Amino acid sequence: MHLSIFHLYPARMNLYGDRGNVLALVRRAEWRGWTVEVVPVEAGEPADFARADLIFMGGGEDRHQAAIFEDFRRRGPEIRAALADGVPALAVCGAYQLLGHYYETAAGQRLDGLGWFDAYTRPGPGRAIGNVVVEATLPLEPRTLVGFENHGGRTYLEPGQAPLGRVVAGAGNNGADGTEGAVKLATVGTYLHGSLLPKNPQLADWLLARAQERREGRAQLEPLDDTLELWAHAGAVERTRRLTRVKNGAGR
């Protein structure tokens, strides 16, 4: 199978190793014998989203989001059409925020998003910083997702919008309602940096399976030896839970 990954704004939207998500997808596809093409899409460059098999966009600071905002909005109809057609996508932090109805910056600037997710983001008190453990709503094995968050915005899901998961440790969307991220069709939005997919190979394979299903009408990924990846994943889960217990005064 040939896989075309559209990587949106890699020069500006690449906080905390987000580019590693694309590398993980490429390697896991190539290990299965797929051919992979990564198509970087920068502001002002032509891009035919009808060719995309998978879309990725990472996070950025407010100034980076503002810099790509007009171009992102201009491409909105094409991006929404691709997502509605089932093209799998991963949107991290700033990208996740811009897929909601709007994002309000700390300076009070309102950036209207694509409205793909039924959600909105407003500035919060201080920043949500630290390691995160999430119990995913997707049918993953293991069900936990681990990552690192650092965001000043607080995202609120409207009724009916499915979260990516429930927070076990960390703040997640807003630190109040226990949700993290959002899922719609094959689109995943999340605050988890780190980068996310090398630490969570089961989510990488979920995205690849959705791309295969859309292209070939089936999802039959050959299994890989993820011993090291899952060992690192389990270690991150235990370390984060232990630190959370210490922070909450529950002992070491």
How far apart, in Å, are the Cα atoms of 213 and each of 37, 61, 217? 18, 34, 5
Domain count for the chain, please give it: 1
- Note the pLDDT tens digit of each residue in 59-115: 877 777 778 989 999 999 999 999 999 999 999 999 999 999 999 988 888 989 999
Residue of 64, 151, 193, 233 with catalytic role = 193
Say if 111 falls within a structural domain: yes
Say if 252 falls within a structural domain: no
Say if 42 falls within a structural domain: yes
Q: Using alpha carbons only, what angle is made at residue 9 by residues 54 and 16, rounded to the nearest 5 degrees?
A: 90
Domain containing residue 103: 2-247
Say if 228 falls within a structural domain: yes
CB 95 within 8 A of CB 189: yes
Residue of 7, 93, 151, 233 with catalytic role = 93
CB 55 within 8 A of CB 47: no
Residue 93 annotated to the active site = yes
196-205 average pLDDT score: 96
Say if 177 falls within a structural domain: yes
Check which CATH number belongs to the domain holding 124 and give it. 3.40.50.880
Q: Using alpha carbons only, what angle is made at residue 138 by residues 223 and 149, rounded to the nearest 5 degrees?
A: 100
pTM, two decimals, is 0.94
- Note the pLDDT tens digit of each residue in 19-36: 999 999 999 999 999 999
Residue 2 annotated to the active site = no
Smallest CA-to-CA distance from 80 within 54, 46, 115 is with 115
Say if 204 falls within a structural domain: yes
Say if 221 falls within a structural domain: yes
